[in-house]
């Protein structure tokens, strides 16, 4: 994930928080908003309450890998916020949680037309 694909400044995170929509599951909170660019930008928030630096960095590495391998629509700013249960979750559980949130947000590609129309 290159520098252009990351939210790096506090103002970028604040824009997503103020103007974006929120979706929640047991492990992750997703905040997303369209960015008008031809690419997605991602930010990850892992609180110190989740553990020491080793634990927080592990969670961020898992998030980056899940996002890298998940096909999504282009043109979104997304912030993934780790909840308390994520520190004991494995890769498959985190992948399922992220996919669930992206499906709810209708950002996940490969969705059927019925799901896009909100009928599923």
118 in any annotated domain: no
Q: How many domains does the chain have?
A: 1
Domain assignment present for 117: no
**How high does pLDDT run on average in the chain?**
88
Residue bearing tokens 């990351």: 6
The pTM score is 0.86
Q: What is the DSSP letter of 77?
A: E
25 pLDDT tier (thresholds 50, 70, 90): very high
Angle at CA of residue 26, ends 90 and 111, nearest 5°: 85
Q: How far is CA 16 from CA 19, 24, 31, 34, 69, in A?
A: 5, 15, 7, 9, 22
Within a domain: 70: yes
In a domain, 65, yes or no: yes
- Has residue 20 been placed in a domain? no
Whether the CB-CB separation of 79 and 13 falls below 8 Å is answered with yes
In a domain, 8, yes or no: no
Q: Do 23 and 101 form a contact (C-beta atoms < 8 A)?
A: yes
Domain harbouring 57, CATH code: 3.30.230.10
Instruction: Show the domain range for 99.
Output: 31-109
Is 116 part of any domain?
Answer: no
Residue 24 lies in a domain: no
Task: Tell me what pLDDT residue 113 has.
Answer: 42
pLDDT in tens, 46-92: 999 999 999 999 999 999 999 999 999 999 999 999 999 898 899 99
């Amino acid at each position: 994930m290159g520098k252009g694909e990351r939210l790096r400044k506090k103002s970028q995170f604040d824009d997503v928080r103020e103007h974006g929509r929120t979706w929640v599951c047991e492990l992750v909170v997703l905040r997303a908003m369209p960015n008008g660019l031809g690419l997605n930008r991602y930010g990850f928030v892992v609180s110190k309450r989740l553990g020491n630096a080793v634990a927080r960095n592990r969670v961020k590495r898992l998030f980056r890998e899940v996002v890298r391998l998940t096909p999504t629509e282009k043109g979104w700013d997304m912030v993934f916020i780790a909840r308390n249960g994520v520190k004991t979750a494995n890769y498959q559980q985190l992948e399922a949680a992220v996919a669930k949130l992206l499906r709810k947000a209708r950002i996940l590609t490969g969705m059927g037309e019925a799901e896009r129309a909100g009928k599923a």
